[in-house]
């Protein structure tokens, strides 16, 4: 008997089967844990995406002047509860009755407690794991948290206020645009900002409420920011004055006497005009605009070929003293004129060079022509106009901004946003909605 046991002990023919049998629980356990881990990570990512989307929806609601609502009605939310509505719409996890949600605006702790646009969404959900659940007394809880708010998106010196589904910013032909800053349009079109033809556009960032098609005409390093929030009118709070009296139309001819009589009512014998109200200004000769506001009452401001126009601390306002009329004039700047115009650095119209009343007819046409000897510093504000910038090579547009309904670039244009110290002109701060935590 003893010899038989010794022989059985030395027999190895069944060892593989014994080892395999002993290892089977470990193999099954490892496979089960791996499956549970993958499932857990997937659920976690889905829940985190849900929290991210809900937080962003809350910020967009706040930006639109609405409340974010609560998460207590995730099963049957309405648009008045944008966070809950977004969760219900985008939830790909089953059993949403098991979903616990908390929304805070602003967050109760952390960096954004005083930010009224910041929205924090916390989600949690219990889910059963197929393998580990056999050994657990309760289902594990998955959590996710997200905080979103409005953050700076860059500096813009071109703003298109177009809010329809048409292109707001367009660079065509052989234009060579070098902004030194960014452009943004409120257009909702999928082609909100485009660069076509043989154009070259160096500007960053380029942003739009709608889409921005990729293009080889965007310069190297250009940051595209499609589907962002709308840019507010940077001069929306600035209104034109209301002159009680107004001078008639004034024309300055090349042959006019170059003396300054300092009349309160300028004549064509003045090459230095006083600020005030005019029916129109038509500049053909050499003239200096004294610092101040030039109110053009239902007429145009024109600079003709060969004219030499200088002015520092000047704002030209195109409006109409009849508050019920939308008959608002425009500007005509000939590219063969020599213009050196800068906006005031202080006061109500600080940084504004040209201002067209918001009562003007929608989509009125404005063209800016500039020669290589012209200098513009300040904003061209035409909120209802389709503005075309047609600058020549060498045009000095240092610290110039454009705010219009639609903006088109043609010719060989160059705009720089490097502003002198203390200047009232400057780029506009952009904003975008982003996750911050």
CB contact at 8 A, 368 and 380: yes
Mean pLDDT score across all residues of the chain: 83
Q: Sort 294 into a burial class: Cβ within 10 Å, 0-12 / 13-18 / 19+.
A: buried
Q: Which residue has the tokens 């003709």?
A: 304
Mean pLDDT is lowest, of 65-74, 143-152, 308-317, for 65-74
Q: How far apart, in Å, are the Cα atoms of 137 and each of 29, 36, 44, 124, 163?
A: 18, 16, 21, 19, 57
pLDDT at 53 over 80: yes
pLDDT > 50? residue 344: yes
Tens digit of each residue's pLDDT (9 = 90 or more) over 375-417: 888 999 999 999 998 766 556 667 788 999 999 988 766 666 6
47 and 93 Cβ atoms separated by less than 8 Å: yes
- Residue-range domain boundaries for the chain: 14-139, 153-435
Q: How far apart are CA 278 and CA 169, in angstroms?
A: 33
pLDDT digits (tens, 9 = 90+) for 1-12: 566 556 655 656
| CA–CA separation, 170 and 194 (whole Å) | 5
CA separation for the pair 300, 297 (Å, rounded): 8
Q: Are 200 and 217 in contact, with CB atoms under 8 Å apart? A: yes
CB contact at 8 A, 119 and 59: yes
Take residue 20 and report the two structure tokens written for it. 């395999």
Residue corresponding to tokens 């079109």: 189
Q: What's the pLDDT tens digit per position in 55-86?
A: 999 999 998 888 888 887 777 777 788 888 88
More confident position, 344 or 203: 344
Say which DSSP state 311 is in: E
- Residue 275: how many other CB atoms lie within 10 Å: 18
112-141: buried (b, 16+ CB within 10 Å) or exposed (e) per residue? beebebbbbbbbbbebebebbeeeeeeeee
- Mean pLDDT score, 333-357: 91
pLDDT for residue 258: 41
Question: Each residue of 24-50: pLDDT tens digit?
Answer: 566 665 665 666 677 777 888 988 999
């Amino acid at each position: 008997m003893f010899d038989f046991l010794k022989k059985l002990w030395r027999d190895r023919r069944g060892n593989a089967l014994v080892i395999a049998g002993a290892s089977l629980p470990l193999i099954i356990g490892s496979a089960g844990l791996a499956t549970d881990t993958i499932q857990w990570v997937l659920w976690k990512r889905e829940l985190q995406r849900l929290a991210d989307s809900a937080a962003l929806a809350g910020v967009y609601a706040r930006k639109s002047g609405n409340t974010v609502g609560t998460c207590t009605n995730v099963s049957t939310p309405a648009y008045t509860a944008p966070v809950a509505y977004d969760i219900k719409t985008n939830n790909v996890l089953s059993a949403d009755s098991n979903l616990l949600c908390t929304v805070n605006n602003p967050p109760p702790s952390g960096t954004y407690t005083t930010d009224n646009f910041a929205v924090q969404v916390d989600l949690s959900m219990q889910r059963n794991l197929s393998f580990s659940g056999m050994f657990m007394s309760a289902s594990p809880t998955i959590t996710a948290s997200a905080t979103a708010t409005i953050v700076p998106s860059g500096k813009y010196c071109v703003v298109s206020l177009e809010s329809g589904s048409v292109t707001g910013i367009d660079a065509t032909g052989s234009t060579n645009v070098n902004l030194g800053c960014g452009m943004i349009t409120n257009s909702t079109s999928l082609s909100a900002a485009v660069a076509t033809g043989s154009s070259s556009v160096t500007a960053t960032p380029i942003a739009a409420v709608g889409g921005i098609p990729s293009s080889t005409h965007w310069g190297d390093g250009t940051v595209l920011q499609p589907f962002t929030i709308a840019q507010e009118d940077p001069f929306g709070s600035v209104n034109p004055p209301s002159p009680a009296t107004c001078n008639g139309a004034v024309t300055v001819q090349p042959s006019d006497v170059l003396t300054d009589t300092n009349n309160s009512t300028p004549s064509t014998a003045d090459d230095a005009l006083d600020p005030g109200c005019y029916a129109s200004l038509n500049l053909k000769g050499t003239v200096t605009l004294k610092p101040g506001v030039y109110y053009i009452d239902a007429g145009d401001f024109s600079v003709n070929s060969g004219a030499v126009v200088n002015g520092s601390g000047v704002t030209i306002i195109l409006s109409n003293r009849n508050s019920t009329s939308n008959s608002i004039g425009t500007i005509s700047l000939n590219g063969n004129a020599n213009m050196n115009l800068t906006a005031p650095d202080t006061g109500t119209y600080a940084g504004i060079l040209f201002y067209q009343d918001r009562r003007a007819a929608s989509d009125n046409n404005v063209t800016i022509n500039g020669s290589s000897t012209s200098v513009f510093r300040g904003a061209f504000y035409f909120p209802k106009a389709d503005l075309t910038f047609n600058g020549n090579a060498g045009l000095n547009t240092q610290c110039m901004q454009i705010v219009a309904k639609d903006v088109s670039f043609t010719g060989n244009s160059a705009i720089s946003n490097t502003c002198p110290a203390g200047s009232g002109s400057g780029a506009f701060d952009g904003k975008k909605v982003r996750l911050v935590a």
